[in-house]
Amino acid sequence: MGRAVEEPRPMPLLPVQELAGAGDDVPARYVARATNDAEAVAAAAPVPVIDVGLLCQLQPRGESATAEAARLRTALESWGLFLVANHGIEAPLMDAVMEASRGFFRQPLEEKQRYTNMADGEHFQLEGYGNDRVASEGQVLDWCDRLYLKVEPQDERNLPLWPTRLRGVLQEFTAECTKLKDRLLPEMAKLLELDDDYFGDQFGDKADTHARFSYYPPCPRPDLVFGLKPHSDGSFVTLLMVDSSVGGLQVLRDGVWYDVPTRPRTLLINLGDQMEIMSNGIFRSPVHRVVTNAEKERLSVALFYSVDPEREIQPAGKLVDENHQALYKKVKIKEYVAGLFEHFSQGKMVIDTARI
Ligand SMILES: O=C(O)CCC(=O)C(=O)O
Ligand SMILES: [Fe+2]
């Protein structure tokens, strides 16, 4: 019906890695802020470290488990993210994922282009290697290349886009992270006095997991350019493994940007918008960003766990009554996720569309 609207043609971009080292200036399209845009940055965020071993003690629970649960509650209500200790994922596996990722990005461009996210050289697709989708000339770009892959449902994996060196480790790492997520979600449900399975059950039969390997090359103008612009994750929950030696992730709280500390083999849990909606805003999906570094490259690996796109979510019924009105509308995941890019590229937050 009606006229076909012509989509703006995406303009193929050079990977940022190819721009890095080309001088002291950056192309104007990457400039996100003015030099005098001084926002307060606290030294380091006192982001809680949660010991999963203590938290998930079997019954009867000791005092230490209760104390850990209280700390988890504070973490989820105030920061929306926490560092995980005692997570059970073996150090050699974490190192192998980082090394495989580093190895991938270190390859010559032609090799990486075999996995490009520009089908036929011009049609942007979500999966693969490259940059963000470019929708307009005015869009501010991120100083970051990435490889984005659908990991679950397993039968929807697009294996030709999985670099050989990453296949085994990604499979293994996802399996371990999924176990961790499945241990943590019941603990989060308990904090809200929901059934242990409440969150797990929300995922549905075709829960959707994506992996994002991000590579942030050194940038000559960290004062002007973001590795990743401010956003909150559209996921249910995100597991994030960040570079042990280079910081850059910052989280916004009460109008202040805090540096998220790095620890050796850091694993972070970051709540996404779907959790904020289901918890009726009790748990936060934090706004975060990545700043660039003039000297050092930085890598991160994120796993985004998301509800089956065909399902709808809304604040848990038990959390809504005459004294606690629903703060979010019912949203269809497919539509919500479709709105993510558009909002992100315009510097807006898609969760604002779900608020009542
Ligand atoms: O690289 C990081 O530390 C954060 C990445 C991130 O926020 C994302 O991929 O959504
Ligand atoms: Fe994020």
Q: What is the CA radius of gyration of the chain?
A: 20
Cα(184) to centroid of ligand 1, in Å? 20
Between these two residues, 181 and 340, which has the higher pLDDT value? 181
| Overall average pLDDT of the 53-66 stretch | 83
Answer yes or no: is the C-beta of 241 below 6 A from any ligand 1 atom: no
Task: Spell out the domains of the chain, with CATH numbers in brackets.
Answer: 16-310 (2.60.120.330)
| Overall average pLDDT of the 110-124 stretch | 84
The 10s digit of each residue's pLDDT in 274-283 is 999 999 999 9
Measured from the Cα of 288, ligand 1's closest atom is 7
- Count the neighbouring beta carbons within 10 Å of the beta carbon of residue 44: 12
Is the ipTM higher than 0.85? The answer is: yes
| Overall average pLDDT of the 53-60 stretch | 82
Residue 16: is its pLDDT beyond 80? Answer: yes
Cα(200) to centroid of ligand 2, in Å? 21
| Overall average pLDDT of the 192-213 stretch | 96
- Angstrom distance (rounded) from CA 191 to CA 318: 13
The 10s digit of each residue's pLDDT in 265-300 is 889 999 999 999 999 999 999 999 999 999 999 999
- The mean-pLDDT minimum among 120-134, 240-254, 298-312 falls in 120-134
The answer to whether residues 270 and 238 touch, using CB atoms and an 8 Å cutoff, is: yes
Confidence of residue 37 (pLDDT cuts 50, 70, 90): low
CA trace torsion 276, 280, 283, 285 (10° rounding): 20
Mean pLDDT rounded to a whole number for the chain: 90
At residue 175, the pLDDT reads 97
The one-letter code for the residue type at 274 is Q
Q: Which of 101, 214, 251 to mutate to test the pocket of ligand 1 (most atoms within 8 A of CB)?
A: 214
- 241 alpha carbon, closest ligand: 1
- Angstrom distance (rounded) from CA 48 to CA 77: 12
User: Which one, of 176, 213, 207, lies nearest residue 272 by Cα?
Assistant: 207
Answer yes or no: is the C-beta of 174 below 6 A from any ligand 1 atom: no
Answer yes or no: is the C-beta of 212 below 6 A from any ligand 1 atom: yes
Q: Report the predicted TM-score, pTM, of the whole model to 2 decimal places.
A: 0.93
Answer yes or no: is the C-beta of 210 below 6 A from any ligand 1 atom: no
Residue 152: is its pLDDT beyond 60? Answer: yes
Residue 57: is its pLDDT beyond 50? Answer: yes
Residue 4: is its pLDDT beyond 50? Answer: no
Residue 2: is its pLDDT beyond 50? Answer: no
- Angstrom distance (rounded) from CA 241 to CA 245: 12
At residue 148, the pLDDT reads 96
